[in-house]
Amino acid sequence: MATDPGPDRGGFRRSYRRFLAWVRLNVPPGLRLLLGIVIMVGGVFGFLPILGFWMIPLGLAIAALDIRPLWRRFRGR
């Protein structure tokens, strides 16, 4: 008896990773940090109709694309 696995759980993760890869390739490094901060600030106003609290983790992930290399440089790795 086969059970239904439910909705496609990997689809969201796949889309999220594709979006971050697109940002990494198409947005210049300094602008990625600024874009991530702007998205996080927009997420604070999540009670508004178009903006949402989902923007906070997305902005954090985009900003982390720039912060990690800076942190490695700072630590000497």
Asked whether residue 4 is assigned to any structural domain, the reply reads: no
Query: Given the structure tokens 């000497």, which residue do they identify?
Result: 76
pTM of the model: 0.67
pLDDT in tens, 35-54: 999 989 988 888 777 778 88
CA distance 70 to 75: 9
- Contact (CB, 8 A) for 62 and 43: no
Query: Given the structure tokens 């996080």, which residue do they identify?
Result: 40
Asked whether residue 3 is assigned to any structural domain, the reply reads: no
Asked whether residue 5 is assigned to any structural domain, the reply reads: no
Number of residues that make up the chain: 77
Query: Of residues 8 and 73, which shows the higher confidence score?
Result: 73
Q: How far is CA 58 from CA 29, 38, 42, 54, 55, in A?
A: 16, 11, 11, 7, 5
What's the structural domain count of the chain?
1
Structural domain harbouring 68: 13-75
